[in-house]
Each structure stands twice: as structure tokens, then as C-alpha cells.
Structure 1
Amino acid sequence: MLFRNCAGGVVFSDDKVLLLRNEKSEWILPKGVIRNRDLSCDVAIDRVKEETGIDAEIVSSVGDTCYEFFSISRQKPVCNEINWYLMKALHEDCVLNEELDFIDVGFFKIDKALDMITYSQDKSLVHLSYNKFKSLVVEEMMV
């Protein structure tokens, strides 16, 4: 089995979350493989920008997820462990990166996004991250 360390962002703009639709029509979150000695936080910021055109800043870490799949191109199982970061978008001007085989990108209201997201693990991550985001934003406004 091939093990890969990855990093990604759960990016919010007010009450909306950033989602991508891949070539399999799955609604997912931006993420990528950590290469060389790159820091996971830098990879998360870079992948959000590269995949969606969104500039975002990290607010907090939100945990890790792990999933396995069979890679047809590699002809072996792959295990991705992803470090997730809660992020705040600096704008909402998405730019679809078709070179990476994405077919749609955008910010979606949380209720709609939770219905759209393909994987239950990602739904849980977005739900928990949004609660954390709301509490951090309220704290920020009170300071």
C-alpha cells in the first residue's frame, strides 16, 4: 500500500464553504500531497489557491482524516492521511483549474453544501469546522 501525507483547507466566507467538483462529479474540499519537506500548512494554503484561485488565511487546525482507495494508474491501494486547516477566505473570486480536472468550484451556503458533499467524512468535517469557525469569528468580534 502507498501511504501519502496530505493537507487541505476547509475554507469559509461568512456562512458559505468552498467546494470543488472533480472529474468524477464528486463534491470535495481542496487538498494535496505534501512533498519534500514542505509544511502541511503551506501545502494547504497553496492547494486552495492552485485548485480554486482563492487566497485564504489559516484560522486554526481542525484535525486529520484518512481514507483508502485503489489507484488504477498505480495498480495498488493508496492511503491518504490529510491534515485539515480551518481557513477564512480573503475574497470569493473563484478560478476553476481545469488542468487539474476540476469541473466546478464555488462557495455554497452551509446547508446546501452539506447536501452536496459526496463523502460523509467530509460532511462531518465541514459541519464541525463551521461550528468552530462561528465561535472563533464571534470571539474575534468581541476582542
Structure 2
Amino acid sequence: MIFRSCAGGIVFYGNKVLIMKNEKNEWVLPKGVIKDDKISTEVALDRVKIECDVDARILSTAGQTSYEFYSISRQKPVCNEIIWYVMESDSDKCNINKEEGFKDGGFYRIKDALDMVTYSQDKSIINLSFQKYKSFRKEQANI
């Protein structure tokens, strides 16, 4: 089995979260493999920018998830371990990168996004991250 370390972002703008539809018609979060001596925070921010053309900033860690799949091209099973970051954008504008294989996406109301997202792990990390995001915003308002 091939193990890959990845990083991604759960990006919020108010009560909306950024999700994308991939080439398999799955609604997912922006993420990518950590390589070339990059650190996880760089990869997470880069993938949000590359996949969605969104400038975001990291507010907190969100947690980790993992999943396995069989790679036809490698003829081996692959395990992706993803570290997630809670992020915020100053705008809900995005431009989904179709050259990266994405078909659709944008910022959706949390309730709608949770109904749309394909994988239960992603639903859970969005839910937990939104609670962290709301707490962070509340703390900032009290400063």
C-alpha cells in the first residue's frame, strides 16, 4: 500500500463553505498531496488557490481524516491521510479550475453543503470546523 500525506482547507465565508464537484461527480473539499519539502499549511493554502482561485487564511487546525482507494495507474491500494485547516476568505467569489478536473463548485450555505457533500468524513469535518469557525469569529468580535 502507498501512504500519502495530504493537506486541505475548509474555507468559510460567513455561513457558507467552499466545496467542489470533481470529475467523478463527487462533492469534495480542496486538498492535495504534500511533496517537494512543502509543509502542510502551504499545501492547504496552495490547493485552495489552485483549485478554486480563492485567497484564504488559516485560522486553526481542523483535524485529520484518511481514506483508501485502489489506484488503477499504480496497480496498488493508496491511503491518503489528510490534515485539515479551518480557513476564512474575505469573499465568496471563486473560479473553479476545470483544468484540475473540477466541474463545479463554490461557497454554499452550510446546511446545503452538508446535504451535497459526498463523503461522511467530509460532512463531519465541515460540521466540526464550522463550530470552530463560529467560536473564532465570536472571540474576534469580543476583542
Q: TM-score range by the shorter chain?
A: over 0.9
Q: CA deviation at 1:90?
A: 2.4
Equivalent residues of 1:20, 1:28 under 8 A apart: yes
CA RMSD of aligned residues (A): 0.6
Counterpart of 1:9 in structure 2 is 9
Whole-angstrom CA distance in 1 between matches of 2:101 and 2:62:
27
Question: Matched residue of 1:134: which SS?
Answer: helix
Question: Normalised by the size of structure 2, how large is the TM-score?
Answer: 0.98
Secondary structure, counterpart of 1:95 in structure 2: coil
Note if contact 1:32-1:47 (Cα within 8 Å) is conserved in structure 2. yes
Query: How far apart in 1 are the matches of 2:89 and 2:6?
Result: 20
Deviation at residue 104 of structure 1 after TM alignment? 0.3
Give the ranges of 4+ consecutive aligned residues of structure 1 lying more than 6 Å apart after TM superposition: none
**Secondary structure in 2 matching 1:80:** strand
For residues 90 and 15 of structure 1, the distance between their equivalents in structure 2, rounded to whole angstroms, comes to 12
Q: Provide, for residues 66-123 of structure 1, a one-character-per-residue CA deviation record: whole Å limited to 9, x for no partner.
A: 1101111211100000010000012222111111110001000000000000000000
Which structure 1 segments of 5+ residues have no match?
Answer: none
Structure 2: unaligned runs, 5 residues or longer: none
**Aligned residues with identical type, % of pairs:** 56
Determine the C-alpha separation between the residues in 2 that align with 1:63 and 1:126.
10
Equivalence map 1:1-143=2 (5 Å) = 1-143=1-143
Q: Specify the code of the residue in structure 2 equivalent to 1:50.
A: I
Aligned residue for 1:23, secondary structure, equals: coil
CA distance in 1, matches of 2:11, 2:23: 21
What CA distance in whole angstroms lies between the structure 1 residues aligned with 2:103 and 2:29? 13
Structure-2 separation of matches of 1:98 and 1:139 = 37
- Cα contact 1:54–1:90 (8 A) shared by 2: no
SS at 1:46 equivalent: helix
The CA deviation at 1:10 is 0.3
Distance 1:101 1:36 in 2: 22
Where 2:32 maps in the other structure, the secondary structure is strand
Q: What is the TM-score with the length of structure 1 in the denominator?
A: 0.98
